[in-house]
Amino acid sequence: MIGLVDCESFYCSCERAFRPDLKNTPIVVLSNNDHWIIALNSEAKSLGLKRGVRFKEALSVINKNGVVFFSSNYTLYSDISWRVMETLRNLSPKIEVYSIDEAFIDLSGFKNLATYGEEIRRTIKKQTLIPTTVGIAPTKALAKTAQRLAKKNKGALLLETQKEIAEALALTPVEDIWGIGRAYAEKLEAADIKTAAEFIKIPEWIVKKEMTTVVWKLQRELKGIPMADLKLEADPRKGIISARQFRKPIKELSILYEAISYYAELAVEKLRAQECTTNSIAVSLESSGSGGHYGKNASVEIAPTDYLPDIISAARSLLKKLYFSGFEYWRTTIFLVGIEPITGRQINFFESDNRKKIELSEKIDEINSKFGQHTVHPCGSEFRTDWGMRRAYLSPCYTTKIKDFPIAQL
């Protein structure tokens, strides 16, 4: 049996975890530069607010109804996610982290699964303060179906018998089938196929012919036939991108150097976390003004590396080629591609000894892990508020910065 554990309104729940005064309060979380609503809890949804709405356009509803809003605090959300996943590892021998707020768990051999599903919810709530819903079923797709139905009652749901599965599929509209996509949902509805129960009755050869192999596998999963094992280790990214829109247009090359260096630092942090190197770097630079919008990009191949100063040096060289004075730039991006595991990379016979670079990088990782992201960083990658993201409503990093730790009043 497979379980799917999903954190409820995750970003909002993270903000509320350290603010008990916000119980039953509508909450929204904003995108980079505070432009859009990207997350909201059930209380905010009940007011008619939706994802993708401009913050400014929603202000009248927000102010009228006492909605509390936050800038996105990804440092906090990532750390809370890690705590949730570590808690799950103590509750199941195998876990697949599916996203920042979802994970599949192996419940093979467990008894009294309905009771255990509720125990999982209680344990996570007690140890992390994050509410969850749990779906348990024979396959991943059915577990996701169970979780979506459990979400309506904010609990745990077990689909074990054929009757329970059939009833759940009959209650699931095709547009709510995990992984079906809007285009295929519209195609199915046009053919008068309204529910998952009707979808699984389509002959498999037709699904393969008219849709894709992925959808065919999904159909078999909904029939209770396992087609996907748990991925106990995340697949390494094939490419890593780091970019932000500037708070305001930038003209000076020196400031653009700082920005691309900072973005390179963020990209390399992800690269090193998955124990990989990159052998190709690309940089883009975008400008807009009275003459319209344009963007340019350049790339270079390098010896495989995860050493930040080398990657910054290459990125700055590319940026210099793209820059023309007199223009206002509003975005720069760095791409790391040609990614491969450190243990599997080809050694260049002429490559110099990298022991000092490796030791330095490991020590910096250790310090930043202990004291927080960006504690030790190259001088040229200093974060500045004149080009950095606008995050006017940022909450404290309650779990990762000592100065932000909550203080208990005795």
Is residue 408 very low, low, confident or very high in pLDDT (cuts 50, 70, 90)?
confident
Extract the tokens encoding 289.
């003004």
**Residue-wise pLDDT tens digits, 89-99:** 999 989 999 88
pLDDT, position 235: 65
| Residue 289 reports pLDDT greater than 80 | no
Distance between CA atoms of residues 410 and 390, nearest Å: 36
| Residue 378 reports pLDDT greater than 60 | yes
Query: Mean pLDDT lowest for which of 240-244, 317-321, 346-350?
Result: 346-350
Query: Mean pLDDT lowest for which of 116-125, 188-197, 236-245?
Result: 236-245
Which of the four CATH numbers 3.90.550.10, 3.40.50.150, 3.30.1490.100, 3.30.1330.10 does domain 240-381 have? 3.30.1490.100
* Beta strands per DSSP E along 199-291: 240-250, 276-289
Arithmetic mean of pLDDT over the chain: 86
pLDDT, position 128: 95
Is residue 398 very low, low, confident or very high in pLDDT (cuts 50, 70, 90)?
confident
pLDDT, position 234: 64
**Residue-wise pLDDT tens digits, 249-282:** 888 898 899 889 989 998 998 888 888 888 899 9
Tell me the average pLDDT across 43-49: 94
DSSP string, 55-71: HHHHHHHHHHTT-EEEE
Of all residues in the chain, what percent carry a pLDDT higher than 70? 90
pLDDT, position 83: 93
pTM: 0.75
Burial status of residue 359 (CB atoms within 10 A of its CB: 0-12, 13-18, 19 or more): exposed
**Residue-wise pLDDT tens digits, 109-147:** 899 999 999 999 999 999 999 999 999 999 999 999 999
Q: 136 pairs with which residues across the strands?
A: 3, 158
Distance between CA atoms of residues 134 and 132, nearest Å: 7
**Residue-wise pLDDT tens digits, 18-40:** 999 999 999 999 987 888 899 99
Extract the tokens encoding 39.
């997350």
- In CATH, the number for domain 77-222 is 3.30.70.270
pLDDT, position 166: 95
Tell me the average pLDDT across 72-81: 89
- Highest averaged pLDDT of the listed ranges 135-144, 224-233, 244-253, 350-359: 135-144
Distance between CA atoms of residues 247 and 23, nearest Å: 33
Of all residues in the chain, what percent carry a pLDDT higher than 90? 48
Burial status of residue 264 (CB atoms within 10 A of its CB: 0-12, 13-18, 19 or more): buried
Is residue 391 very low, low, confident or very high in pLDDT (cuts 50, 70, 90)?
confident
* Four-point Cα dihedral 364, 366, 372, 376, nearest 10: -10
pLDDT, position 349: 47
Tell me the average pLDDT across 148-175: 92
Is residue 383 very low, low, confident or very high in pLDDT (cuts 50, 70, 90)?
low
The total of other beta-carbon atoms located within 10 Å of residue 35's CB is 13
Domains 7-74 and 77-222 alike in fold: no
| Residue 370 reports pLDDT greater than 60 | yes
Q: Beta strands 27-30 and 68-71: pairing type?
A: parallel
Residue 72: its H or E element: none
Distance between CA atoms of residues 61 and 47, nearest Å: 8
Domain boundaries, the chain: 7-74, 77-222, 240-381
The topology under which CATH files domain 7-74 is MutS, DNA mismatch repair protein, domain I (3.40.1170)
Residue 173: its H or E element: none
Q: Helices (H) and strands (E) in the chain — how many of each?
A: 14, 13
| Residue 290 reports pLDDT greater than 60 | no
Residues 6+ apart with CB under 8 A from 45: none
pLDDT, position 351: 52
- Which DSSP letter does residue 343 get? G
| Residue 11 reports pLDDT greater than 60 | yes
| Residue 345 reports pLDDT greater than 70 | no
Extract the tokens encoding 215.
């959808």
Tell me the average pLDDT across 6-26: 94
